Amino acid sequence: MSSSSPTSALKIAVIGSGPSAFYTSLDLLKTNNPQLEIDMFERNPCPFGLVRFGVAPDHPEVKTCQQRFKDTSEDERFKFFGNVNIGTDLKLQELVENYNIVVYAYGSGSENKLGIPGEDHPAVINSKDFVGWYNGDPAYKNLNVPLHKVKNVTIVGNGNVAIDIVRILLASPDSHWSKTDITSEALETLKKSTVENVCVSARRGFLDSKFTNKEFKELLEMEKEGIMFKGWSADHFQTFASKIKLGRIEKRRLQLAQKYSDGGQKVSGKSWELEYLQTPVEFIGDTSDPILLKETVFQQNSAIMNNDNKIEIVPTETLTCKKNELVILSIGYKGEPLQEFENLGIPFDSKRGKIPNIDGKIMREDGSFVTGAYCVGWIANGSTGNINSSVQSSAVVAATIMDDVEADGSLLDYKEGRNKIEQLLSERNIKNISWDDWLKIEQAEIKRGEAQGKIADKITDYEEMLDIAKRS
Ligand code: NAP
């Protein structure tokens, strides 16, 4: 028999503190259930995940969602536990035992790989590391990017992360970046940068570009700042329209490229280009400088129309070499299972790097659901979608949770929740960061930023964050 009653408390643990974790919490708190308790666990001393460590510093408007997340923290039913690593500081089993529901919202922690020779060369950098470095993720603060030695950078993959990186590499550190919250270290490195050209390379064709038109247009418009798109000749554009019927988004993308193309002329100053239908097969190091590449070998691909009238990409025998001293792999991210998943019977799709689920409800291979286990965000859907799209998907997951709680009384069985967890942390002498602690760190960052004329100067050292949190 279930030990629940209509007034039983619903105790929820959320692992992760990025946008999906917060939007799901916000939606759950909207239910006005006074018996609800949401505890959010974050391994970093600071919250916000991708909003803090992923969004480009020149897109502060995207980060305004942090204000909404602060509203969550003001709700007494919500508690933030920063600097708590699930798996080491607390076992996942302890969360499963002490909460009615566990929401997995810890994102995609590792990156896709190409699996080709030279991928481990120091001049082949993953976008995750690079983005984390300029956004102040302490894990990447020592990434020494030798931009002062580089003229040509190739970015493999053409999603919006690649577009962000083009802006980072080419926009002026003084007029474009200096007032943003880009880290001081990254700003200094950009000031010494000798990068002149960035090539964004993709395995498929222009119409399959992964970047969105908004981000494409923003970058094209940076010609006002002297950042030129190399573009193509008029003949090149003829090849598109004749082949397939274009949708609205594709037409717009083509119009934008046409408008800003310089006819394939050589441009002076800083420039960027888009290259298509090529797959990297080897990165070749520079024998005279071990931290640089000499070139990248690409296999050329061909786009053919298959029997279903769909475009198919097939490799050809042709190999080409592109001179570039640095490559940034921007080919998407992959989630990893938590250590205890197997023991606790929580499934994981290793191929896709995500937790199998329906509307957030974690589903085993046999189609049954894991009771009280939900996932949201990139760990649920793969590394796709921006902050706005997480609003909608989080609302779906929150609604699924509330529907299940209503349908299954056993989900309200008594659990110890927060009291037990605080006791465990105290016994283990783990100094978790509360929301007030975090506000102290945030204030220190704003103050440091003010002194430099920046929105904020992010602290990139865990110990320093913990020291600030300890101050009264
Ligand atoms: P993405 O949009 O999925 O793009 C990944 C790119 O990598 C694609 O061009 C893909 O090519 C390529 N790729 C993957 N595997 C490859 C392989 N083995 N060999 C060669 N190329 C490969 O990922 P992302 O740029 O990391 O962005 C992640 C999500 O964050 C996206 O939804 C993005 O829109 C979002 N985001 C949004 C913003 C914004 O709104 N401003 C900013 C940053 C990120 P194929 O297309 O051929 O698979």
d(CA 165, CA 195): 12
| Sole residue written with tokens 């097939």 | 314
d(CA 326, CA 189): 15
Q: What is the pLDDT of residue 4?
A: 46
Cα 255 off chain centre by? 29
Cα 206 to averaged position of ligand 1 atoms, centre (Å)? 14
Distances (CA, A) of 361 to 108, 356, 369, 404: 18, 8, 7, 9
Cα 241 to averaged position of ligand 1 atoms, centre (Å)? 25
Q: What is the pLDDT of residue 2?
A: 46
Q: Answer whether 157 contacts ligand 1 (Cβ < 6 A).
A: yes
Dihedral angle over CA of 244, 249, 251, 255, nearest 10:
-150
Question: Which atom of ligand 1 sits closest to the CA of residue 158?
Answer: 9
d(CA 338, CA 349): 12
Q: Which of 433, 344, 470 is nearest to 84 (CA)?
A: 433
* CA contacts within 13 A on the Cβ side of 344: 21
Which tokens belong to 174?
A: 């003084």
| Phi, then psi, of 81 in degrees rounded to 5 | -120, 90
Q: What is the pLDDT of residue 311?
A: 79
Q: What is the pLDDT of residue 233?
A: 76
Q: Which CATH architecture has domain 10-109+335-433?
A: 3-Layer(aba) Sandwich (3.40)
What sign does the dihedral 233-234-237-243 (CA atoms) show? negative
Question: What residues form DSSP beta bridges with 411?
Answer: none
d(CA 373, CA 371): 6
Domain boundaries, given as residue ranges, for the chain: 10-109+335-433, 113-331
The model's pLDDT over 174-209, given as tens digits with 9 standing for 90+, comes to 999 999 999 999 999 999 999 999 999 999 999 899
Residue of minimum CA distance from atom 40 in ligand 1: 386
Cα 59 to averaged position of ligand 1 atoms, centre (Å)? 18
Residue of minimum CA distance from atom 33 in ligand 1: 160
Among 50, 53, 161, 391, residue to substitute to test ligand 1 (most atoms within 8 Å of Cβ)? 161
Q: What is the pLDDT of residue 207?
A: 87
Question: Which atom of ligand 1 sits closest to the CA of residue 313?
Answer: 47
Q: What is the pLDDT of residue 268?
A: 64
One-letter amino acid of 417: G
Which residues of the chain are modeled with pLDDT < 50? Answer: 1-6
Q: Answer whether 160 contacts ligand 1 (Cβ < 6 A).
A: yes
The model's pLDDT over 97-117, given as tens digits with 9 standing for 90+, comes to 999 999 999 999 999 999 999
Among 134, 219, 331, residue to substitute to test ligand 1 (most atoms within 8 Å of Cβ)? 331
d(CA 84, CA 226): 45
Residue of minimum CA distance from atom 23 in ligand 1: 332
> In 34-101, which residue ranges form alpha helices assigned H by DSSP?
49-53, 65-73, 92-98
Cα 331 to averaged position of ligand 1 atoms, centre (Å)? 5
Question: Which atom of ligand 1 sits closest to the CA of residue 59?
Answer: 41
Are domains 10-109+335-433 and 113-331 of this chain identical in fold? no
> Could you write out the DSSP letters of every residue in 309-365?
S-EEEEEEEEEEEEE-SEEEE---EE----TTHHHHT---BTTTTB--EETTEEE-T
The top-level CATH class assigned to 113-331 is alpha beta
> Is 272 within 8 Å of 170 (Cβ atoms)?
yes
d(CA 89, CA 427): 11
Q: Answer whether 386 contacts ligand 1 (Cβ < 6 A).
A: yes
d(CA 194, CA 287): 20
Q: Answer whether 328 contacts ligand 1 (Cβ < 6 A).
A: no
Distances (CA, A) of 350 to 120, 377, 379: 22, 16, 11
Q: Is 282 helix (H, G, I), strand (E, B) or coil?
A: strand
Cα 158 to averaged position of ligand 1 atoms, centre (Å)? 6
Q: Of all helices (H) and strands (E), which one includes residue 299? A: strand 289-305
Q: Which residues of 91-104 are buried (b: 16+ CB within 10 A; e: fewer)?
A: bbebbbebbbbbbb
Q: Annotated binding residues for FAD, as ranges?
A: 20, 42, 50, 86, 378, 385-387
Q: Of all helices (H) and strands (E), which one includes residue 401? A: helix 387-407
pTM above 0.85, yes or no: yes
> Is 443 within 8 Å of 451 (Cβ atoms)?
no
